[in-house]
């Protein structure tokens, strides 16, 4: 009985075991199916790995397990665990990271999950020491998937069927993860594409803006270039003002416009206007007042040299009576501290209430550019003035040089004169101390000249030659004849010498009639005794004076027979004739 029951029993047991095996397989298949269904709807890798781990742990009665997805390129580890301590989980994560960097490559990973050392404790430190089964597999996208499960309840070993189921489960998880990663990659790429498309759109918009800006700048530059080319040959300030006004009005399409330029230093105001009825003379005070109003309403509080600024609300700042028209836009500019002004435009043809930003920039650029020319023109005018001054200075210098040349000439002449004077002084110094024959001769010449000149005009003047030389000489008679005539009383003897000499010695019986006293003595002494037949004998002469001739000539004027006795007293005495005393 026992023998019979035994085969049946054995068959039943075998059938039961087969049934149990089939049930278990069915259960495993259902679990696989359910897991596949569940995983297929999951979108997050963490959820997929958690679902796999929980399914595997529940399916095989395991209390501890861990699944790690390692990026073989970067070494990044993403773990999902159940039943492990925090320290064990961290240790696993660190170990896996190290292993992934050194040992896990795409080449040595199986496409399909493989069980590594099934049923034996895992490597030291890599997974918990009680790890019962370890799976490794490759996931598309450069990932390695490592899964470890702890021991089963009741320490049941993993049968082949369990291993196959686990591999299938892991394969399913790998596929789902691969799909998920692929899907994520696609999403990432799509997002990147979307982002790039957006960036391209932004770049296109920026390019459009840049193009518009470039076009505007090109227009501005062209306008500035034309403006510069037009202003280049102009050097006169008035012409610059006129040209600038016409250019600005033409560029912005203004019906009216004006430019007011005020030179504070010279107190000169230049005003140019177009489209304004009437004309107006601007005083310096009125221009200053207008500029002050402009400064009060300037958009920028401080205006540096060579800069321009728009004026806020120019309609109210410059009412129509101020400039002669309704101001649409106005710019205040400063060339330097002494030269500043206002550019004002009337209603625009475009009927714009406010100038566009680009137009404002252009107007400011034109104004600043124009100011540079204005400054140059001012410098040119200054240079011209300096040139004029220089020319005048040159003329003065030339005159000064002429004067200096003349002065030099004079100095040279004076030097020569000085040298001559010096020589003269030296000569005079030498002469002063010594006797010179020339001085004596000169004195003699001067004395002769003065003597002759003075004698000519002197009423008591005398002749150079004695008077007896030129007069008619009286008849001569020798001493014996004279003595004979005296003895015969036919003659009268007259002594013509001065009384002193007469008194000293004279011929006996002679009458003394000196020439100087002739007019007095003749009538007294000689005239009474003078008879026509009696001769008058005159004697007396010295080396210096011919008294006898002189007296004889005077007696001759009164008496005919007058004779001069030759030899005089000396000859008389030599004859031994009588003398007295």
Partner 1 sequence: MKWGLVLKHLLFHPVLGLVLRVYIGGVFITASMYKINYPGEFAETIASYQLVPYWAVNVMALVMPWAELIAGALMVLGVRTKAATTVIAAMLVMFSLAILITLLRGIPIGCGCFTSVEDPLSWKTFWRDILWLIMSLHVFFFPSALQLEGRMIKSLQEVEA
| Residue ranges binding partner 1 (CB under 8 A) | 418, 421-422, 425, 428-429, 431-436, 439-440, 443-444, 446-448, 450-452, 454-455, 458, 460-466, 468-469, 498, 500-501, 503-504, 516, 542-546
Nearer Cβ to partner 1 (361/573): 573
CB 95 within 8 A of CB 126: yes
What are 475's two structure tokens? Answer: 């008849």
DSSP secondary structure letter of residue 383: H
Nearer Cβ to partner 1 (328/497): 497
> 177: how many CB neighbours lie within 10 A of its CB?
25
Nearer Cβ to partner 1 (46/436): 436
Distance of CA 145 to the CA centre of its chain: 78
Terminal-to-terminal C-alpha distance of the chain:
259
Nearer Cβ to partner 1 (11/444): 444
CB 340 within 8 A of CB 369: no
| Least distance between partner 1 and beta carbon 471 (Å) | 13
C-alpha separations of 432 from 125, 436, 567 in Å? 144, 9, 53
Q: Which residues contact 38 (CB under 8 A, 6 or more apart)?
A: 51, 55
| Least distance between partner 1 and beta carbon 576 (Å) | 22
CB 231 within 8 A of CB 373: yes
Nearer Cβ to partner 1 (196/503): 503
CB 52 within 8 A of CB 39: yes
The residue whose two tokens read 């892991």 is: 170
Nearer Cβ to partner 1 (128/498): 498
d(Cα 83, Cα 50) in Å, to the nearest integer?
A: 12
| Least distance between partner 1 and beta carbon 449 (Å) | 9
CB 234 within 8 A of CB 377: yes
Nearer Cβ to partner 1 (60/539): 539
Distance of CA 237 to the CA centre of its chain: 22
d(Cα 174, Cα 289) in Å, to the nearest integer?
A: 89
DSSP secondary structure letter of residue 90: H
d(Cα 372, Cα 234) in Å, to the nearest integer?
A: 12
Nearer Cβ to partner 1 (2/462): 462
CB 144 within 8 A of CB 109: yes
| Least distance between partner 1 and beta carbon 447 (Å) | 4
| Least distance between partner 1 and beta carbon 385 (Å) | 50
| Least distance between partner 1 and beta carbon 418 (Å) | 7
Query: Residue 506: which of 580, 578, 577 has the closest Cα?
Result: 580
Query: Residue 526: which of 482, 567, 561 has the closest Cα?
Result: 561
| Least distance between partner 1 and beta carbon 571 (Å) | 17
Q: In degrees rounded to 5, what are phi and psi of residue 135?
A: -115, 145
| Least distance between partner 1 and beta carbon 553 (Å) | 15
| Least distance between partner 1 and beta carbon 444 (Å) | 7
Nearer Cβ to partner 1 (546/554): 546
C-alpha separations of 506 from 24, 493, 528, 544, 555 in Å? 225, 10, 21, 18, 19
Nearer Cβ to partner 1 (183/431): 431
Query: Residue 224: which of 379, 411, 366 has the closest Cα?
Result: 366
| Least distance between partner 1 and beta carbon 558 (Å) | 23
Nearer Cβ to partner 1 (326/573): 573
């Amino acid at each position: 009985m026992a023998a019979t029951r035994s085969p049946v029993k054995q068959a039943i047991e075998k059938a039961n075991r087969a049934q149990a095996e089939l049930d278990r397989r069915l259960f495993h298949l259902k679990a696989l199916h359910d897991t596949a269904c569940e995983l297929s709807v999951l979108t997050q890798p963490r959820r997929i790995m958690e679902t796999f781990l929980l399914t595997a742990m529940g399916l095989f009665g395991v209390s501890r397990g861990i699944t790690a997805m390692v990026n073989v390129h970067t070494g990044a580890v993403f773990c999902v665990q159940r039943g492990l301590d925090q320290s064990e989980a961290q240790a696993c994560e660190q170990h896996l990271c190290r292993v992934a960097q050194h040992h896990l490559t795409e080449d040595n990973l199986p496409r399909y999950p493989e069980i590594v050392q099934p049923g034996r404790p895992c490597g030291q430190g890599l997974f918990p020491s009680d790890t019962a089964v370890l799976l490794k597999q490759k996931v598309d996208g450069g990932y390695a998937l490592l899964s470890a499960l702890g021991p089963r309840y009741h320490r049941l070993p993993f049968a082949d069927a369990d291993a196959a189921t686990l591999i299938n489960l892991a394969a399913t998880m790998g596929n789902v993860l691969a799909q998920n990663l692929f899907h994520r990659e696609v999403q990432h790429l799509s997002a990147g594409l979307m982002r790039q498309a957006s960036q391209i759109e932004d770049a296109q918009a920026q390019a459009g803006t840049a193009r518009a800006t470039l076009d505007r700048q090109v227009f501005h530059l062209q306008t500035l270039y034309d403006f510069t080319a037009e202003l280049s040959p102009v050097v006169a300030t008035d012409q610059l003002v006129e040209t600038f006004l016409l250019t600005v009005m033409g560029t912005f399409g203004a019906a009216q416009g004006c430019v007011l330029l005020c030179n504070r230093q010279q107190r000169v105001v230049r005003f140019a206007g177009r489209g304004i009825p009437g004309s107006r003379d601007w005083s310096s005070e009125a221009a200053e007042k207008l500029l002050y109003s402009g400064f009060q309403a300037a958009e920028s509080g401080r205006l540096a040299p060579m800069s321009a600024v728009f004026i806020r609300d120019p309609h109210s700042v410059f009412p129509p009576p101020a400039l002669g028209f309704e101001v649409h836009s106005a710019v205040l500019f400063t060339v330097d501290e002494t030269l500043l002004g206002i550019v004002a435009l009337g209603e625009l043809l475009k009927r714009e209430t406010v100038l566009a930003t680009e137009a404002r920039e252009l107007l400011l650029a034109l104004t600043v550019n124009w100011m540079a020319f204005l400054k140059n023109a001012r410098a040119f005018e200054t240079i011209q003035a300096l040139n004029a001054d220089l020319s005048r200075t040159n003329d003065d210098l030339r005159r000064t040089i002429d004067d200096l040349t003349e002065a030099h000439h004079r100095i040279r002449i004076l030097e020569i004169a000085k040298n001559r004077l010096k020589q003269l002084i030296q000569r005079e110094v030498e002469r002063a101390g010594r006797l010179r024959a020339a001085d004596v001769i000169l004195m003699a010449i001067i004395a002769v000249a003065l003597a002759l000149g003075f004698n000519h005009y002197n009423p008591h003047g005398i002749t150079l030659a004695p008077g007896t030389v030129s007069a008619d000489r009286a008849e001569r008679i020798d001493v014996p004849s004279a003595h004979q005539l005296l003895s015969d009383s036919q003659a009268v003897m007259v002594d013509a010498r001065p009384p002193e000499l007469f008194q000293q010695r004279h011929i006996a019986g002679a009458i003394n009639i000196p020439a100087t006293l002739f007019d007095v003595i003749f009538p007294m002494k000689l005239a009474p005794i003078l008879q026509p037949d009696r001769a008058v004998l005159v004697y007396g002469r010295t080396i210096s004076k011919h008294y006898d001739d002189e007296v004889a000539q005077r007696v001759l004027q009164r008496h005919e027979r007058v004779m001069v006795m030759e030899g005089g007293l000396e000859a008389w005495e030599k004859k031994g004739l009588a003398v007295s005393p």
